[in-house]
Structure 1
Amino acid sequence: MNLLTQGSKINAVLLTENTKKLSIDNHSKVYSVYKIKLDLLRYNDQNDRIATWISQFKSENPNEKLEAKEKDEYNSIIQDFIINSNPDAIKKTQNNIELIGQQEAGVVLSDGRIIDGNRRFTCLRNIQEKTGKTQYFEAVVLNHDIKNNEKQIKLLELMIQHGIDKPVDYNPIDRLVGIYNDIVDKGLLTIKEYSDSVNQSESDIQREVEKAKLMVEYLDFINAPKQFHLARTMNLNDPLKELTTILKQCKDINRKEDLKNVVFANFLMQPHGDMTRYIRKIKKIASNDKFLDDYLAEQLETTEKVCDILEEHDIVTDKIINNKIRTDDVLREAFAHSTEKWVSKADGDATRNRPAQQAEKAFEILDTIDTNIFKKLSDEQKDDVRNKLDKIQEILDSIRGDLDVY
């Protein structure tokens, strides 16, 4: 059903006096807002907010196609994803709508697919079921369809959900999945297009792309290809960030591959409750050339045993991980003991390595500079940057001179 033609004829889509301004294809326009009966609408299963939940459904129901289900069943399934992804936010939004009504209009396509407002739609569905009173979802209706306007719709969705001063309030792994799907897998958007839409620098998005690729590599490593929900339940966003930094600093290709496999095996076995802190310990060892090779040799022996277990399972699921893999306390302890031993050695060497660590920290800070912003600076601001870089160069020359003396 086309909401703007057929929906209006049966009084299920009603024009309001409200409007909403949207920017599509860099063209801003004020659109009319309509009140739409809930049974004419359907969730957007391509929304990044529920990306890992969709992957979990596909993993657990390999013979079912979510998009092929009847609208009521389809909506009920995705409603559960929306609620489970952030139950506190649902409760807060629903209480607000019950008190003062829907305050911000959503955006839907003419076929009823919701592009912005899945959470508000969920709350209205809950209220309708709770009270028995017909509810209406207020939204702009765009005369587009997802098949022929996929890129345009994705850019609009990103712009709305990641607009200026609007926080991203869903799991970072879901966002990583969206970045991987849109930029790497489908090639729907370029890094520049994505960064422009979410008001972030290209370098920031590039780092997220690298992290997303590592996430996919990890899932392949554990025989769970594209089961993105596993990365969510393992809370891998921050550990992946740490691993990205470790690999970036490692210049030797063979070492880098060994490091990656060792960390992947540690991700899987989870020898420590706080894996972010644990990976930082590995990061400390990795920055010390004196100990890294011996540490890797020791860790790779345990990693090979993990790989032997993985070979017993064609597809690894969360049940296999929790009930058959992580139950091996001997392997988990071997990883933990080895890491603690070598990080202690690295700490003992810390005083002598302090200058190198400080240099590393300086490198990390300088590496975060987004050079794209230079084109937006005034001549005075550019001169200020040049002067500071000159001072940095003077310090570097002095340090190199002292190194040669001693």
Structure 2
Amino acid sequence: MNLVESGDIAKTGAKPKLPTTIPKLTDTMLDVYRIPLKYLYYNDENGRIATQIRREFGTLSPHADELDSDYNDKIAAFIEEDNASALKKTKKSIKEKGQQVYGYVLQDGRIIDGNRRFTALRQLQTEAGTSQYFEAVILPFTYDAKADRAQIKRLELAIQMGTEEKLQYDPVDLAVDIYQTIISDSLMTKKDYANEANMTLKEIENRIATIELTHDFLEFINASTEAYYIIKDAKLYNPLFELAKKFAKTFPNQGPKYEQTKETAFALLGKMVHTGGDTVREVRDYLKNIVSSVDNDDYNDAIEDFVEDFRDKLESQPIQSAADYRKRLEEATPELRQISEVYNKTVNRQNRGKNVDSFIADVRETLNTLNDMKRGDGLTGNLQFSNFSKDQVAEIREMLVKINLLSGDLIEVYEDEF
């Protein structure tokens, strides 16, 4: 705003319309400005960008190109890699028609909305050698005050989630953003986030539970609990989401059985990743066949030693990438094979039990039909013998004779099995 006062940044004349209600801030208080690119920088607190920074660098110090371009160059590379075709389309549009949609920035130049437009303008400036300007609203906020951060997040959600043409969040980035906003930073309530992001409260709760389970999983495999990029690269978010939903229902108070089941699930998930295939479907089968059955405790006990051996392999050295995780799974092939064998034996035993139950149910249904016929003097319901032809009556009698003869033979078979 000092640069506005000195004439280095000019108004465009456009008046923005805020996409959500911000206390003590109205549309009439804001303007759109043409801001030289050197004063701006990407928001390292953005959900998408934060995950990429953790993956590549651990931490980065955000700053504008006026200081040096290193930070912005690194983030710009992420944005181009994430969706090169969308960036190319945006750059072509700006080159031909100018910037059509304004962005939002904070007073220190942090970009809250407009990363792809800013990236396109930086590329155009380099390619053409002419000065480019980012047209944006300058919000009277900074990240220094927690109250400001809460309002910034409200606005960011309204922009990012409330506009159909916006690039959709990766599910890991979205879940991390929800967890960080609500749990870590306490900037919003679950209900507030749900309202601003056009999501249900249950969706918010499920995603928070998934990140909490993700922390446990990353600790289990001997990785940093904030190495969310491993979850992304190994495509583990959806399986963990399924586990988190089921665990919340089955173990509402958690406890020892939950802890044992959780470690069992993490070990089995390693087997699924190692062998490939549809991990989400396999997790759902596991939840149905084991966790939801009476066999869950027995299965956990049966593989407890194998899980411990598996953890020993994982703990041989820290896991820092999805490639490290897969390499460690390869080394733990014998343990994973043992876990898989016990799982398959348990499921096969259940299937045999299901077939036995079905068989007994069929025999019982036959008996019930005969009992009904006896109680009805040979018929059931409202049927009368006058409804049948002589041939039909003879056919039924013949079947009953055969049932009588077969049942005598079968009784002897079952007597032999005692």
TM-score, normalised with respect to structure 1: 0.76
Of the two, which has the highest radius of gyration? 2
Alpha-carbon deviations, 1:2-41, whole Å to 9, x = none? xx32256353x22113222113425542532112111111
CA distance in 2, matches of 1:186, 1:237: 22
Specify which of 271, 276, 279 is matched with residue 274 of structure 2: 271
Deviates more, 1:323-332 or 1:191-200: 323-332
Quote the offset at 1:243 in angstroms.
0.2
Quote the offset at 1:188 in angstroms.
2.2
Alpha-carbon deviations, 1:39-65, whole Å to 9, x = none? 111110001122311222344xxxx64
Residue 137 in 1 paired to residue 134 in 2? yes
CA contact (8 A) 1:21 1:29 kept: yes
CA contact (8 A) 1:284 1:346 kept: no
Q: For 1:5-404, list aligned pairs within 5 A.
A: 5-7=2-4, 9=6, 11=8, 13-22=9-18, 23-26=20-23, 28-30=26-28, 31-59=30-58, 65-67=60-62, 70-148=67-145, 149-163=148-162, 165=164, 169-224=168-223, 225-251=225-251, 253-269=255-271, 270-273=273-276, 274-314=278-318, 316-349=320-353
For this pair of structures, how many residues does the alignment match? 346
Report percent identity of matched pairs. Answer: 32
CA distance in 1, matches of 2:348, 2:84: 42
CA contact (8 A) 2:76 2:119 kept: yes
Quote the offset at 1:309 in angstroms.
1.7
CA distance in 2, matches of 1:305, 1:345: 25
Structure 1 residues 142 and 237, CA gap change in structure 2 (3 angstroms): same
CA contact (8 A) 2:43 2:112 kept: yes
Structure 1 residues 93 and 65, CA gap change in structure 2 (3 angstroms): closer
Amino acid in the other structure paired with 2:42 = Y
CA contact (8 A) 1:195 1:201 kept: yes
Quote the offset at 1:167 in angstroms.
5.9
Quote the offset at 1:228 in angstroms.
1.3
Amino acid in the other structure paired with 1:240 = L
SS at match of 1:235: coil
Quote the offset at 1:181 in angstroms.
1.3
Quote the offset at 1:105 in angstroms.
0.8
SS at match of 2:27: strand
Quote the offset at 1:341 in angstroms.
3.8
Amino acid in the other structure paired with 2:198 = N
Alpha-carbon deviations, 1:80-138, whole Å to 9, x = none? 22223333432333333334332211001121110111121112212222332322111
Unaligned runs of 5+ in 1: 355-406
CA distance in 2, matches of 1:241, 1:90: 31
Alpha-carbon deviations, 1:380-402, whole Å to 9, x = none? xxxxxxxxxxxxxxxxxxxxxxx
Quote the offset at 1:214 in angstroms.
1.0
CA contact (8 A) 2:43 2:49 kept: no
Unaligned runs of 5+ in 2: 359-418
Higher relative contact order, chain-length normalized (CA < 8 Å, sep 6+): 1
Quote the offset at 1:147 in angstroms.
0.9
Quote the offset at 1:191 in angstroms.
1.0
CA distance in 1, matches of 2:215, 2:63: 27
Superposition RMSD in Å: 2.8
CA contact (8 A) 2:43 2:62 kept: no
